Structure 1
Amino acid sequence: MLLGSFYTGLSGLQSNAVALNVIGNNLANINTSGFKRSQTNFAQIMSDTVSGINGVGNPIQVGLGVRTSEVVAKFEQGSIQTTGIKTHLAIQGEGFFTTATNGIASYTRSGNFGFDDEGFMVAANGSRVQGFLGTRSDGTVDTSGDLTDIRLDLGEASPPRETGVVRFISNLSAEALNGETYSTSVEVFDSKGVPHQMTITFTRDTTLDLAVGDADPANGGAASTIDQVGWTYDFSWNGDATLVDGGGNGDGTGVIRFGEDGKLYSIDTGLLNDPVTGLALSTTSDPILQVPDPGTGAESLSITWDAIDTPADPTSGPNDSFITSFGSTFNTGTLFQDGFGSGILQDIDFSQDGVMIGFYDNGLTLELAKIAIATFNNRLGLKQVDGGFYLPTAASGPASIDGEGTGGRGSIIASSLESSNVDIAEEFTSLIVHQRGYQSNSRTITTTDQLLQEALNLKR
């Protein structure tokens, strides 16, 4: 029986030695980004039954020591530290960044990323960061597509977009004299991204004024119930009014009238609001301007003049307008158009949801990619490899990959890194406990050796 205690003590030495190695590794990585500390768990070895297995008396069993049952990673959240480096990313919550080398996927909590000489976003070990690239019609990144390497090319050009809407938030003087004009311009773009000047000129025309009782062409010839002040408008393209053409008001000319409150009452032959109820008329539409030949060989343009400010629910209130006639001043407060010319990518940054945003020299910002986050049914089953990376196993199950904030995934914090979750006080306490465990088991061995020596000395 004494010989067995040698191996019992040896198992204790071996198990506590493993635990001391784990603690040493934890402390060595106390400043490693994204590192998750490990914990050693022991299990009793019980396989020697002396007697009592036939139902006579209680069983007498002798333990044969201890074994290391598992070394598990503790995935508590580490603190987030701001670095100021745009490509550094941290996950707040569940999940792992996905990287790939030669088609082999690996996963990490360390977002110490950068770009290589080919423009690929890479981790510290050179593996390529994975994400989503395609965009939806609204310009946001489509996370339903396949994972791919994230890559960008500083200096690449963004495609232009032709102008489809223009808006002028302007005031025309209520004291303007007959024939007095006011012009304002906005830069617009054709399908090739070439800029042009689109100008609208308003002219006060007293012959268009209506008094109470006059036939109102915008109300089917019915008698006007209020006094109205008339203006004409005329659009020009690069200073040439003849380039704006088309049927109806597509030729860029028309008539607007203001009511007694200085707000737009009608545009061309359409009332903004019902004269009886005061509610918005859904049949009233913004003028459409046609530019058959922009002058650069680009496609013809159809541009909406956004003059009417329509409520979300037309039954809830009146239409308003972006054109008014108050006071004695002419002015334009805001210009808007939705086109843009081609631009060169100058810089990138990451939003708080992991979307890579590109900044172009034409002032445009576009979503370029989105970082993918992977989760596992059993993250404790992952196999840890060098560099703070993990590989899936049969125990962990396959990776479930999507964008941030979905399926219980955490969110991405840009320009930051997750610190190690090692607690010095806890590790030092465990170090003392396992040191004492090692010493105690060594005492078992030395005591057993002394007893055997006594047995050998019985016969002299």
Structure 2
Amino acid sequence: MLRSMYSGISGMKGFQTKLDTIGNNIANVNTYGYKKGRVTFQDMMSQTMSNAQGPIAGENGNVRGGLNPSQVGLGSQVGSIDTIHTQGNRQTTNRPLDLSLEGDGMFVLAEAGESGIDTDDREIELGNVNTSFTRAGNFYLDSEGAIVNNEGKYLVGQLVNENGEEVSGILTIPDSAQSFSIQTDGTVNYVDENGDPQVAGQVRLANFSNPSGLEKLGGNTFQYTENAGEAIDGLDDLLVAGQDGTGQMVAGALEMSNVDLAESFTEMITSQRGFQANTRIITTSDEILQELVNLKR
């Protein structure tokens, strides 16, 4: 059988994967905090017809020049499916629990009901709970006043316990609070029933040396992997917004998806044409095989 037929098949598979990724990007064009995917290709192993040779001296002292290798490629394959963590546009909502990050960093979420969460004093042992990370800043208050996301995961921040120590924990706004606000550094302030200003805690962020190494979990969240950087084991691993390379926190706004529709549709067109070209390779190879079969009539 012709090698070109199998090369065409490999090209079709690769462009199908790229079309799947583009379709997912377009489907999430209005998803808060979504980071688009990108597919790259690489060539497959090549079949060597003749090896490279260096210059050779003849018997009479003549020198024969070197020869380049002769190789036939066997198609293409998907090299990587990357997650592009560029900044998305900011959408103003004027809702106090909508938070947007202008720059690097991610919100830290802790699973509800884990053994590492003390629901009485609101402390969280980060090394003993399942943590996830997100750029989607649409948060809410539960029945106990804790700040959670739309799946009930707690927003992790810095608290001061009864002993005056800074610990990681659940940020809570009392039911008796008259109003509350979140500052650009993540500090959560509220006014109590007596009209006195109080501090509920401070939203802390996680920052990774390689955010593309995070694994998507769905629900606008990411999971830590060893290729992302250092793990989050305690409060010391969390950062204050606007410090140590993290971005500023903006309340009353949300970060939109970083998908560019014009770019996505252009990539979709080129992928479609690439897919069609590879199908043409298969049909042309089939016509050649048919001609070979018809040599004997």
What is the TM-score when the length of structure 1 is the normalising length?
0.55
Cα separation, 1, equivalents of 2:32 and 2:187: 22
Cα separation, 2, equivalents of 1:134 and 1:81: 33
- The higher-RCO structure (CA 8 Å, 6+ apart) is 2
Shift of the alpha carbon at 1:146? 3.2
Q: Check the 8 A contact 2:172/2:200 in 1, yes or no.
A: no
- Give the counterpart of 1:350 among 146, 157, 182: 182
- Give the counterpart of 1:63 among 69, 73, 97: 73
User: What is residue 241 of structure 2 aligned with on the other side?
Assistant: 404
Shift of the alpha carbon at 1:422? 1.0
Cα separation, 1, equivalents of 2:195 and 2:143: 26
User: What is residue 260 of structure 2 aligned with on the other side?
Assistant: 423
- Give the counterpart of 2:144 among 105, 108, 118: 118
Q: Does 1:154 align with 2:207?
A: no
What is the identity, as a one-letter code, of the residue corresponding to 2:10?
Answer: S
DSSP 3-state at the match of 1:146: strand
Q: Check the 8 A contact 1:29/1:420 in 2, yes or no.
A: yes
Shift of the alpha carbon at 1:402? 1.4
DSSP 3-state at the match of 2:22: helix
CA deviation digits over 1:31-71, x for unaligned, max 9? 11111111111111133111124546210011111111111
What is the identity, as a one-letter code, of the residue corresponding to 2:173?
Answer: L
What is the identity, as a one-letter code, of the residue corresponding to 1:151?
Answer: T
DSSP 3-state at the match of 2:166: coil
Aligned-residue sequence identity (percent) comes to 37
Q: Does 1:80 align with 2:90?
A: yes
Q: Map 1:27-46 onto structure 2 (within 5 A).
A: 27-46=26-45
What is the identity, as a one-letter code, of the residue corresponding to 1:33?
Answer: Y
Quick one: structure 1 residues 369 and 96, their matched pair in 2 at CA, closer, same or farther if it must change by over 3 Å?
same
What is the identity, as a one-letter code, of the residue corresponding to 1:113?
Answer: F
DSSP 3-state at the match of 2:75: strand
User: What is residue 383 of structure 1 aligned with on the other side?
Assistant: 215
Q: Does 1:127 align with 2:153?
A: yes
Q: Check the 8 A contact 1:154/1:347 in 2, yes or no.
A: no
DSSP 3-state at the match of 1:429: helix
What is the identity, as a one-letter code, of the residue corresponding to 1:147?
Answer: S
User: What is residue 11 of structure 2 aligned with on the other side?
Assistant: 12
Which is higher, the Rg of structure 1 or of structure 2? 1
Deviates more, 1:349-358 or 1:24-33: 349-358
User: What is residue 367 of structure 1 aligned with on the other side?
Assistant: 199
Q: Check the 8 A contact 2:7/2:74 in 1, yes or no.
A: yes
Give 5+ residue unaligned stretches, structure 1.
136-141, 156-344
What is the TM-score when the length of structure 2 is the normalising length?
0.84
More helix by share: 2
DSSP 3-state at the match of 2:257: coil
More strand by share: 1
Shift of the alpha carbon at 1:361? 2.9
DSSP 3-state at the match of 1:50: strand
Q: Map 1:205-224 onto structure 2 (within 5 A).
A: none
DSSP 3-state at the match of 1:349: strand
Cα separation, 2, equivalents of 1:54 and 1:145: 69
User: What is residue 255 of structure 1 aligned with on the other side?
Assistant: none
Cα separation, 1, equivalents of 2:18 and 2:50: 34
Q: Does 1:432 align with 2:264?
A: no
What is the identity, as a one-letter code, of the residue corresponding to 2:5?
Answer: F
Shift of the alpha carbon at 1:349? 1.7
Q: Check the 8 A contact 2:53/2:68 in 1, yes or no.
A: no
Shift of the alpha carbon at 1:145? 3.1
What is the identity, as a one-letter code, of the residue corresponding to 2:171?
Answer: I
DSSP 3-state at the match of 1:42: strand
Question: What's the C-alpha RMSD, in Å, of the aligned pairs?
Answer: 1.8
Q: Check the 8 A contact 2:108/2:132 in 1, yes or no.
A: yes
Shift of the alpha carbon at 1:10? 0.9
DSSP 3-state at the match of 1:126: coil
DSSP 3-state at the match of 2:238: strand
User: What is residue 224 of structure 2 aligned with on the other side?
Assistant: 392
Q: Map 1:441-460 onto structure 2 (within 5 A).
A: 441-460=278-297
4+ residue stretches of structure 1 with deviation over 3 A?
Answer: 53-56
